[in-house]
Amino acid sequence: MRPHTVALIPARAGSKRLPGKNERVLGGRPLLEWTVAAAVKSACFDAVVLSTDSERLAAIGRRSGAIVPWLRPAELATDQATSVAVCQHALDSYEREVGRVSTLVLLQPTSPFRRVLTIRNALACYAEAGGASVVSVSPAAVQPSWLRTVGPDQIIRGYPGIPVDIPHEAQTPAAWYLNGLIYVAGADAIRQGSFYTAQTRAFRVMDRIEAIDIDTEFDWMMAEAALPTVRARNEADE
């Protein structure tokens, strides 16, 4: 059997800043369902796997088209558990119970507006990169030259390592931030402990609505406000 390309969607029950967010209803369906549906619809994967510690979330995942071959152990469902550790557990479990994995794609449910085309293009980028991992980024809201620190004395100072007075902002490299939308890596890279290497490629996501990452109540409000645009865009994509 050829090795599989697997989408992994991590969704634990606990969330301190936005309790119950993965099953909270956004636009008529649970937050988790948005990501599962996009992964399934992309037709890019041999399996769409949900990693969760919750039977309630497992039921939502299965209903949406994901498989849930196991429940995540408690030690990997805490605030301290890293995404890489969760991926390593899923990789080992999948290969033990289903089959060998060549590529793992991490899709976090807190990015509900990820487009099907984005998933396909990110995997194409990974193929073109010759096996180097691919991580999505978006333009930073502010450039580094605008960053400052404010100490206990309330005095504004330059951010360490970044010049304060730059004549033309165009002279500084454009800044990008990790938007959490998609991570693509080979199974070997995951086993070695990171999505990042010296050769990791940036997959640029320019649409600020698509890059919305829900972690707070304010983020949720932003997502709700964006729903009409998202629905219209999704209809155009079909």
Same domain, 203 and 149: no
DSSP 17: S
- pLDDT band of residue 164 (cuts 50, 70, 90) is confident
Q: State the Cα–Cα distance between residues 193 and 85, nearest whole angstrom.
A: 8
Phi and psi at residue 211, in whole multiples of 5°?
-85, 5
Same domain, 154 and 134: no
> Given a cut of 90, is residue 168 above it in pLDDT?
no
What residues make up the domain containing 98? Answer: 4-138+176-237
The mean pLDDT value for 126-147 works out to 92
Same domain, 85 and 17: yes
Give me the helices (H) in the chain, please: 31-42, 55-64, 83-97, 116-128, 187-192, 217-237
Same domain, 10 and 120: yes
Q: Domain tally for the chain? A: 2
Q: State the Cα–Cα distance between residues 176 and 139, nearest whole angstrom.
A: 5
Q: State the Cα–Cα distance between residues 154 and 148, nearest whole angstrom.
A: 11
Kindly report the average pLDDT of the chain as a whole number.
Answer: 93
Global pTM? 0.93
> Given a cut of 80, is residue 189 above it in pLDDT?
yes
Candidates 65, 136, 133; CA nearest to 107 is: 136
> Given a cut of 70, is residue 167 above it in pLDDT?
no
Tell me the pLDDT tens digit for each residue of 28-84.
Answer: 999 999 999 999 999 999 999 999 999 999 999 999 999 999 999 989 888 888 999
> Given a cut of 70, is residue 169 above it in pLDDT?
no
Phi and psi at residue 165, in whole multiples of 5°?
-100, 100
